[in-house]
Amino acid sequence: MDTQMLINEAVEALTSQIDDTAIIACSGGIDSTVAAVLANRAVGAMLHCVYVDTGFMRKGETEEVTEMLSDLGLNIKVVDASDRFFKHLDGVTDPEDKRKVIGEQFIRVFEEEQTIIGAKYLVQGTIAPDWIESGGGNRDTIKSHHNVGGLPEDIDLVVVEPLREFYKDEVRAMARILEIPSSERQPFPGPGLAVRVLGDLTRDRVATCREACHIVEENLLAAAADGKCDIPWQYFAALLPVRSVGVHGDTRVHGETIVVRAVHSLDGMSAHYSPIPHDILADISTKITNALKGSVNRVVYDITHKPPGTIEWE
Ligand code: XMP
């Protein structure tokens, strides 16, 4: 069936499924955005979109995403919950514990919004690999998905999943027809920069990682636009709690370490590190240490494939 027909059918199904106020958590990711646009076409103002700012977004991301969502005609509310996330993550350094706390707090914030709005329906951007890989029925669990949007089963809402039978390439095709600009964005994990800041999650350390990620993104995009390298499938910086001695002018600095990661992959299940030319890496390194004088004095490049590494560091 062609993509326009899939869209028409999905909108028709949503129109008959939803007859009261509905809510959707939107992060700007392709799946939730496509689900929101379809539901909005079906029920218009009955759909309320909620964007939760956890404090772990990339530079400018909250502004860009919420502008994009309102340009798509969605009724979007931004909830700044960063104080709450930082408070509950104080002293939490284990990666799985971080994901657990973030998931729990996300649910609390979302439940509060649901009560305020009085929603009866929950629209979710679940796609086929999400439930196939997470197990259920007689399937084995391949990998449990830790999406910030993952909500508990006992939530008092009727769950509607318009993309449940579709795969990523089909959702991308829908996004193009629906003119959703995020359709070619690189993947970004639900817990955001929280899993790229190893060790303590302080506002300062997250800000350091945010700036380094921005420098990596900006420089690789510019290098690709100049034809100097291919654009990797995913590319970012992570902050390591490893201090080393460095020097700025005449001053000794005891700063932390940024690792730059760039990989080629088809689906994230396996990956090859990207052979970024050394002059581009050197430029990124200089820009990071200049911008983050005092907090970062060493930049390293990760040349590990997946497996045995993973793409993220946590
Ligand atoms: P790993 O690090 O497991 O990542 O090789 C594979 C892909 O999944 C993304 N990722 C996540 N996405 N919630 C998400 O929504 C998560 O907790 C999470 N952890 C990793 C990662 O960025 C990569 O694209």
Give the ligand 1 atom nearest the CA of 187.
24
Q: What is the pLDDT along the chain (314 residues), one digit of tens a residue?
A: 799 999 999 999 999 999 999 999 999 999 999 999 999 999 999 999 999 999 999 999 999 999 999 999 999 999 999 999 999 999 999 999 999 999 999 989 999 999 999 999 999 999 987 776 555 544 444 444 445 445 566 667 899 999 999 998 899 999 999 999 866 678 899 899 999 999 999 999 999 999 999 999 999 999 999 999 999 999 999 999 999 999 988 889 999 999 999 999 988 889 999 999 999 999 999 999 999 999 999 999 999 999 999 999 99
pLDDT at position 97, please? 94
Dihedral sign (CA 313, 136, 8, 41): negative
pLDDT at position 149, please? 47
Residue with CA closest to ligand 1 atom 14: 189
Give the ligand 1 atom nearest the CA of 312.
2
Q: Which residues line ligand 1 (CB under 6 A)?
A: 99, 146-147, 187, 189-191, 234, 268, 306, 310-312
Please, what are the domains in the chain? 3-185 (3.40.50.620), 196-301 (3.30.300.10)
**Distance from Cα 139 to the centre of ligand 1, integer Å:** 21
pLDDT at position 182, please? 64
Give the ligand 1 atom nearest the CA of 99.
17
**Distance from Cα 173 to the centre of ligand 1, integer Å:** 22
pLDDT at position 141, please? 44
pLDDT at position 133, please? 56
What is the best residue among 97, 126, 185, 312 to mutate for testing ligand 1's pocket, by most ligand atoms within 8 Å of CB? 312
pLDDT at position 154, please? 64
Secondary structure of the chain in HEC code, one letter for each residue: CCHHHHHHHHHHHHHHHCCCCEEEECCCCHHHHHHHHHHHHHHHHHEEEEEEECCCCCCCHHHHHHHHHHHCCCCEEEEECHHHHHHHCCCCCCHHHHHHHHHHHHHHHHHHHHHHHCCCEEECCCCHHHHHHCCECCECCCCCCCCCCCCCCCCCCEEECCCCCCCHHHHHHHHHHCCCHHHHCCCCCCCHHHHCECCCCCHHHHHHHHHHHHHHHHHHHHHHHCCCCCCCCEEEEEEEEEEEEEEECCEEEEEEEEEEEEEECCCCCCEEECCCCHHHHHHHHHHHHHHCCCCEEEEEECCCCECCCCCCCC
Residue with CA closest to ligand 1 atom 6: 268
Give the ligand 1 atom nearest the CA of 271.
5
**Distance from Cα 82 to the centre of ligand 1, integer Å:** 21
pLDDT at position 181, please? 87
**Distance from Cα 311 to the centre of ligand 1, integer Å:** 7
**Distance from Cα 262 to the centre of ligand 1, integer Å:** 14
Residue with CA closest to ligand 1 atom 11: 189
State how far the Cα of 90 lies from the Cα of 55, in Å rounded to an integer. Answer: 13
Type of residue found at 35 = A
pLDDT at position 148, please? 46
pLDDT at position 129, please? 79
pLDDT at position 86, please? 98
